[in-house]
């Protein structure tokens, strides 16, 4: 049998825990965006045929915030991962790698968002899915031009949350 003070204490403690949980700021999804962006980048790099890759891609992963919106937990933010892939020295290697990546992205449900670039040598292809953006930059073959492939993965927008170390 429970004594009267203990019986009243249990609902009181539960109420404080519930209210305390409601009063805390929601966790920022930036951590999840970082993990997802890095995974997408790795999947893209893995979709390049091995015979076209000269070295392990160099990857840079960082959170970004909108500069003009202040620096508070509500500041708009997103996660970016960029990678540079050295392709083999062979005519058309960069374009072949970009084609393989594009085919893999479309097969995985990404939508081609167009191409850009007024420069005839340096091209970019865009892809989108569920608020995410992928940009693939590549180089057309030309004597004396080093061919490589760039990958940029950008998460949907969110807020900075408790990521005090993220500033732009």
pLDDT tens-digit readout, 42-53? 999 999 999 999
Q: How far is CA 44 from the centre of its chain?
A: 12
State the pLDDT at residue 10: 40
User: What's the rounded Cα separation, in Å, for the pair 166 and 168?
Assistant: 7
Residue 31 pLDDT > 50: yes
Q: How far is CA 147 from the centre of its chain?
A: 24
User: What's the rounded Cα separation, in Å, for the pair 98 and 110?
Assistant: 14
State the pLDDT at residue 63: 87
- Write out pLDDT tens, residues 83-139: 999 999 898 999 999 999 999 999 999 999 977 767 778 899 999 999 999 999 999
List of residues 6+ apart from 59 with CB closer than 8 A: 38, 41, 81, 82, 83
Q: How far is CA 8 from the centre of its chain?
A: 49
State the pLDDT at residue 28: 64
Q: What predicted TM-score, i.e. pTM, was given to this entire model?
A: 0.78
- Write out pLDDT tens, residues 82-98: 999 999 989 899 999 99
| pLDDT interval class at 163 (50, 70, 90) | low
Residue 14 pLDDT > 70: no
Which comes out higher in pLDDT, residue 35 or 4?
Answer: 35
Pairing outcome for strands 122-129 and 111-116: antiparallel
Give ∠ CA 117-121-123 in degrees, rounded to 5: 40
The CA distances from residue 98 to 3, 52, 56, 58, 143, in Å, are 72, 10, 16, 17, 19
Q: Record the tokens describing residue 159, joined without a space.
A: 């807020």
Sign (positive or negative) of CA dihedral 107, 83, 153, 141 = negative
Cβ 30 vs Cβ 77: under 8 Å:
yes
| pLDDT interval class at 13 (50, 70, 90) | very low
State the pLDDT at residue 73: 73
State the pLDDT at residue 80: 96
The three-state secondary structure class of 9 is helix
């Amino acid at each position: 049998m429970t004594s009267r003070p203990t019986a009243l204490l249990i609902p009181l403690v539960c109420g404080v825990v519930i209210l305390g949980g409601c009063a805390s700021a929601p966790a920022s999804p930036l951590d999840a965006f970082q993990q997802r962006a890095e995974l997408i980048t790795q999947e893209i790099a893995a979709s390049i045929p091995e015979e076209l890759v000269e070295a392990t891609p160099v990857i840079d992963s960082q959170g970004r915030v909108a500069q003009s919106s202040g620096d508070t937990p509500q500041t708009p933010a997103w996660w970016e991962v960029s990678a540079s892939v050295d392709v083999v020295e062979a005519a058309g290697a960069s374009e072949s790698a970009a084609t393989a990546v594009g085919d893999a992205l479309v097969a995985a449900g990404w939508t081609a968002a167009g191409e850009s670039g007024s420069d005839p040598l340096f091209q970019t292809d865009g892809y989108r899915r569920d608020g995410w953006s992928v940009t693939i930059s590549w180089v057309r073959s030309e004597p004396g031009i080093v061919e490589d492939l760039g990958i940029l993965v950008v998460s949907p927008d969110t807020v900075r949350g408790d990521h005090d170390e993220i500033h732009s």
